[in-house]
Structure formats: structure tokens, C-alpha cells
Structure 1
Amino acid sequence: MISEKEQKQYYQALLAKDSTYDGIFFVGIKSTGVFCHATCPARKPKYENCTFYETAEEALLSGYRPCKRCKPLSFPREIPPLVQKMVELVEENPEKRWKDQDFAELGIHSMTARRQFKKVYGMTFVQYARSRRMGMALKSIKKGEKRINTQLDVGYDSSSGFYDAFSKIMGRNLKQSKEIKILSADWIDTILGPMMSIADDEYLYLLEFVDRRGLEREIERLRNRMNASIVPGKTKINEQIKGELDLYFEKKLDEFRTPYLCLGSDFQKSVWQALTEIKRGKTFSYKELAKAIGNPNGMRAVGNANGANQLAIIIPCHRVIQTDGGLGGYGGGVERKKWLLKHEREYR
């Protein structure tokens, strides 16, 4: 997280167009919906209209698009024409999900495209396109908009294009119907970065960090299983988990009481139930977890079920480590896992 002191320092660098800060931070401009690098020549925004990020991916996931004047994704290095073309293609059709066939139709070898994009931006092309796509949906969720009316902010000239982009991620169109269940998605700012909750008036179905890899697929699985459309908004369940997370990060929460519903196989549910029985401040190895559910040879299956958990922190998959004591993986990132384990060890 960028401290308030650093944010003010970055803002002064932005005003001064200090080139020593290029690549150190990116700034999202709330009034225009774009993000820039430190030496952008455009008119400088007010401090309260700025949100600072350490990476371009974070800015994209927050719903900002690259500034056309300073081109923050390419600065300060020159980028190959192929890579520039790929960025332009994403901006022409941000909701598109790219496949190998799409590259072939453009006369581009997919491996070459991926390699060049990663070399220039430090992220894969698929990662960039996904972040841009998710950012559009998450921006509306962050604002809590019941009806999506910010299409011009994300680069669309018509509402239909924006509705299409949103519905491809969140499910069908935004018009409610008796056949489709409506779930509400809310944005939660935490000390470890933003999270998203998805709930109705009875249960919480998803709680994840917004930059988790595979989040889009998780949302897709959820809405297909529930025959649901997901809209920005709040229910009493969204509000309850938001309050409980605040208390958790302040070390003031005894246990989570937000009602939730797990959607998965019987085996997955048995693993998730076992996870909730790991005491705060303690850890299990995958082997120990497999034994706990009566399947000592099922470590790989247990690991897969652990990774399929859609309720971060509440169902504490971060408390599972490798047999040799190594942290192992975590959907929200290994650094977050390390932080959560330390936080819980110090919990009183």
C-alpha cells in the first residue's frame, strides 16, 4: 500500500514532471478516467482527483485506461510496432477475450506476441487484456452504481457497448427478470488492497482480492451455477462482511459471522469445512489437511479444492502450507499469504 506521505510526494513529482519518478508510480485521474506517468504533459489534476499506483496493472484493474498523450504503458522505452498494435486493438475492443486464433487472423504468432508484450510491460498480453476488461466492471462496482452510466469514462460512445462489456464479465444484461437471480457486487478497500464481495440478501457467495488471477473465471462459474446476473450494489450481507473485515484487520474480530454459501462438490465442501477448523495463528500442511478429511493420499485433490475456494480469509486457505514449511501458493499472492499468517500469529 502507498502511504499518504508517499502519495503527497508523488503528487509533487507529478506537478514538477520529475522524470526520476517515471516507472516508480502511475496516477489515475478520477475526473478523466485515464492513468498517466510522472511526466505527462497534460494539465495537472487536483490532488483529491488523483489515485496513485505502483504498477500499471493496478491502475487498469481500478478501471483507468492509458492516457493517449503520455502513453504510460510504453514510457520511457520505445516499444515494437507489434506491441503497440496489440495495445490499440485492446482499446478498440476492451471486452474481447483473446484466443490463439485471433492472433493468427492478424498474421501474428501468439508466442511471439506474448514474449514481446511480457518483455516490454512485465505482464502478458492476456494479463493486460484481462485487467482492462475487469477494470471496467470493477470501476462500476467501486462506485456502487445500480445502473451503469459511465460508458464515456471507459472509452465507449454508447451505453450498449459498455453494457456488453459489463455483461460479458458479470452475466447477461443488466435488466432484471424473474428468471435470473440478481447478486450484488461491492468494493471493499483493505490494508492488503481492494477486495470484492458478491452477495444477495441471505448469503455471501464470493470474497476475493480484485487482482486475483482467475477472478473472471470464478465470477463466471458463480453466475452460471446461480443462473445469476451481477450488478453493482450493496445488501446487508455485503455490508456485514465489510464491517467484519475492518474488525479482522484491526485484530478485533473473534470470528466471522457473515452467513455464506459454498458452491462446489461434496469433496470440495469437505475440504473447505476442514479449513474453517484450522485455528487462527496455526497452519496445516496439505498432507495434514488430507488426513483431516479422511483421504491421506488425496493431497493433490486437496490442493485443487483449496485453490477453488471463493471466500478468501473467511475460509482460511491461506493457513495451508507445504510439508517442508514453505508457504506454497495462494490465489491472492504469496506476499499477502505471508502477511495474513503473521497478522494472525500476532492476533490477541
Structure 2
Amino acid sequence: MIKDENKKHQYYQALLNKDSKYDGIFFAGIRTTGVFCHATCPAKKPRYENCTFYETAEEALLAGYRPCKRCNPLFYPQELSPLVKQMVSLVEKNPEKKWRDSDFAELGIHSATARRQFKQKYGMTFVQYARARRMGIAMKTIRTGEKIINAQIDVGYDSSSGFHDAFSKIMGRTPKKSNEFKILYADWVDTKLGPMMSIADEKYLYLLEFVDRRGLEREVERLRNRLNASIIPGKTNISNCIKEELNQYFDNKLLKFETPVMLLGSDFQKKVWGELVKINMGETKSYKDMAISIGNAKSVRAVGNANGANQLALIIPCHRVIQSDGSLGGYGGGIERKKWLLNHENQNRNF
């Protein structure tokens, strides 16, 4: 999401003028209609305060906007092949669907060809696009949803429950009723590095991730299955607490997170995460150092895997682990975010 006010006003003026030089440069999400457009959209122009601007279509999709049917922003700038048009149309007909190779085969489409053509056009794979559209539905529900009193929840997600069927398909249907059944609440958090999602109950925070993380759906599914839980839109004291702490963190007013968390993982993973929280802001450790600190110098790769399994971004600071040669290594939230976070923490370690 673009936050620079000058750039936002520039893009809004381009939208008003239908300036073709800006087609493909930005996408405008229109809050009143729930669609996103490119600069030359012929539809009636929205008010400035109802616009959110994005640099990529994937960002707009993840924010919950659907492609405008008037300007077809996904069909710009060059003409699409019939195959890519067909794939986009299929997603719009069934946006909550999780696509597999077998689905392509049933349609007589070679999956490798589909992936290549889609990647060339949009800079993201078809699976990424379908995921962004799918997750966007869930994220929009999370952004606008109200907390639902437990007594009102029908554990079968029937029509009387009030939940959208698409949301339950994306975030996972409720498990079979049992005494262990648990309700968790998902909330949206805007940050300087992009939106994040928190999942919490009234006691603990279970997940905090950037919404564009590739493995987010799998993380949500593992969490839901592990706790025999249903995840619905809503806020709790814990989700409000982490939102406030994140604001403080990005405003250089927080050195350590205090929100109560629940760590769900193997003993080894918890051991690694325990060492991660000991790394102070502004400091880094190598994967090898981490392996040594847990008493097993040969477990470098396992340490890396434990980092990747972390479901509490920033709180369990896996971004503070780098390669022995000083290079950044991987990060689930993306290398650019990791670089930004390390610079941010290094500059503000002694505020």
C-alpha cells in the first residue's frame, strides 16, 4: 500500500484524468465498491478519501479488492493470451478454490504452460494470483468483521451462523464438536511494512504474520488443526495489545514485546525460539551461532527450519539471524523486509 501523500495525490490526479501513462504503474482500490482499477478506468471517479493505492495487483488482491469489470486491470497493458484470460475468468467464477495440477488436467491445460504464461504476464505465478484473490476474501472479512459472541456460533458453519461460505472455505471449517473445541479470533493490523494478521484468544497470541507470506494458509491450517479450533473475524484484548505494541515498535518506542504468546511447536523448535528472543534489538546472530547456543553445532540446517516454522513474526525475532558471512539469508516475510527491520532496529536500539 502506498503511503506517501504526494504520490497518492499524484496517482489520484492520474485517475481523474484517465492518464494512460500511469496504466500499470499503480492500482487504485475503491473502498466504496470493493474493486481495484487502473488509471484509465471509465467508471465514475471516487472521492480521494475512498481510494487506496497499490503498486502491484497482488497487494490489491490481498487487501480484499476484486478486479474491476469495467477496466479489467489484470488485462493491461498487453493483450492476454486466451489461456491466461481463461485462467483469470476461472478464478473470478470460484475465487475461494485452491488450485491443483489435477484441476488443470481436467480443463485440458498443461500446468507448466499455464504457470509460464501467467508468470510472464503478471510477475507472479497463477497459484500466487489465485492465493492472493482467495486470501483477499478472508482478509477483507477480517478487516471489516465484528467479534461474534461464542454462544451465537453454530459450529457447523450453517447458513444460520452468519458466516460467508467463502470465508469458511478459506480459513477452514469448524472441526467436529467436542469438549476441546476452541474459538480463535483473526484481526488485521496495518504496519509500515504492510498489513499483518494476528490470531488470538483472550489469553494468548498464537500467530502474527504478514498477510502476503506465501505459507500463511498452511500456518493457519496447522494452527486450527493443532488446537481443534475455529478461526473467525474479531478482536480480543490480546489482539488489541499486539496492535498497540506494533505501533510502538514501528514508532521507535518499544524494545521488547510483552504481549502473552503461546508457542506451538516441537521441543527443538521451542528451544530455538527461546534463544531467538534472547537476541537484543540491534544485534544479530548467525545460524551457526544459534546452533552452538543450543548445544548442537551440527544443527545449523535444523535451526534454519525452526526459524522458518516461527509463527510470531517480530515477536520471535527470526529476522535477526543471518549467514556466517554476513549475508542476510532467508526470511518468510521477504528479504527486503528483513533488511528494513535490521536497519530500523540498529538505528533505534538505544532510543
Question: Is TM > 0.5 for Structure 1 vs Structure 2?
Answer: yes
The aligned length equals: 338
Structure 2 residue matching 1:89: 3-state secondary structure: helix
Out of 176-185 and 122-131, give the one that drifted further: 176-185
Cα contact 1:184–1:200 (8 A) shared by 2: yes
Relative distance call for 1:109 and 1:316 in structure 2 (3 A) is same
Instruction: Output the CA distance in 2 between the equivalents of 1:143 and 1:176.
Output: 27
Relative distance call for 1:12 and 1:174 in structure 2 (3 A) is farther
Match in the other structure for 1:11: 12
Instruction: Output the CA distance in 2 between the equivalents of 1:224 and 1:128.
Output: 26
Q: Deviations over 1:77-125 (max 9, x none)?
A: 1000000000100111111111111100100100000000001111100
Match in the other structure for 1:153: none
Match in the other structure for 1:94: 95
Question: 1:2 offset after TM fit, Å?
Answer: 3.2
Question: 1:170 offset after TM fit, Å?
Answer: 1.9
Instruction: Output the CA distance in 2 between the equivalents of 1:95 and 1:324.
Output: 43
Q: What letter matches 1:255 in structure 2?
A: K
Instruction: Output the CA distance in 2 between the equivalents of 1:84 and 1:285.
Output: 46
Q: Does 1:295 align with 2:296?
A: yes
Cα contact 1:94–1:133 (8 A) shared by 2: yes
Cα contact 1:2–1:53 (8 A) shared by 2: no
Question: 1:307 offset after TM fit, Å?
Answer: 0.6
Match in the other structure for 1:23: 24
Question: 1:162 offset after TM fit, Å?
Answer: 7.3
Cα contact 1:174–1:231 (8 A) shared by 2: no
Cα contact 2:141–2:167 (8 A) shared by 1: no
Match in the other structure for 2:134: 133
Relative distance call for 1:182 and 1:303 in structure 2 (3 A) is same
Q: Deviations over 1:159-193 (max 9, x none)?
A: 99973321122221599986531101111111111
Q: Does 1:228 align with 2:242?
A: no
Instruction: Output the CA distance in 1 between the equivalents of 2:31 and 2:8.
Output: 15
Match in the other structure for 2:164: 163
Instruction: Output the CA distance in 2 between the equivalents of 1:210 and 1:252.
Output: 24
Question: 1:213 offset after TM fit, Å?
Answer: 1.1
Structure 2 unaligned blocks of 5 or more: 149-158
Instruction: Output the CA distance in 2 between the equivalents of 1:116 and 1:35.
Output: 23
Q: What letter matches 1:192 in structure 2?
A: L
Cα contact 1:185–1:230 (8 A) shared by 2: yes
Match in the other structure for 1:304: 305
Match in the other structure for 2:198: 197
The aligned runs of 1:1-348 (5 Å cut-off) are 1-146=2-147, 163-173=164-174, 180-347=181-348, 348=350
Q: What letter matches 1:137 in structure 2?
A: A
Q: What letter matches 1:331 in structure 2?
A: G
Q: What letter matches 1:128 in structure 2?
A: Y
Structure 2 residue matching 1:332: 3-state secondary structure: coil
Cα contact 2:175–2:229 (8 A) shared by 1: no
* Percent of paired sites with the same residue: 72
Instruction: Output the CA distance in 2 between the equivalents of 1:313 and 1:71.
Output: 37
Relative distance call for 1:174 and 1:299 in structure 2 (3 A) is closer
Structure 2 residue matching 1:73: 3-state secondary structure: helix
Cα contact 1:170–1:220 (8 A) shared by 2: yes
Cα contact 1:144–1:234 (8 A) shared by 2: no
Instruction: Output the CA distance in 2 between the equivalents of 1:82 and 1:162.
Output: 34
Q: Deviations over 1:203-236 (max 9, x none)?
A: 0000011111111111111111111111111100
Instruction: Output the CA distance in 1 between the equivalents of 2:85 and 2:303.
Output: 42
Match in the other structure for 1:150: none
Question: 1:143 offset after TM fit, Å?
Answer: 1.4
Instruction: Output the CA distance in 1 between the equivalents of 2:161 and 2:283.
Output: 50
Instruction: Output the CA distance in 2 between the equivalents of 1:254 and 1:119.
Output: 43
Structure 1 residue matching 2:164: 3-state secondary structure: helix
Instruction: Output the CA distance in 1 between the equivalents of 2:162 and 2:332.
Output: 31
Instruction: Output the CA distance in 1 between the equivalents of 2:160 and 2:214.
Output: 28
Instruction: Output the CA distance in 1 between the equivalents of 2:23 and 2:176.
Output: 43
Cα contact 2:147–2:235 (8 A) shared by 1: no
Relative distance call for 1:234 and 1:161 in structure 2 (3 A) is closer
Instruction: Output the CA distance in 2 between the equivalents of 1:252 and 1:146.
Output: 29
Instruction: Output the CA distance in 2 between the equivalents of 1:45 and 1:252.
Output: 37
Q: What letter matches 1:206 in structure 2?
A: L
Match in the other structure for 2:156: none
Cα contact 1:171–1:228 (8 A) shared by 2: no
Q: CA RMSD in A?
A: 1.9
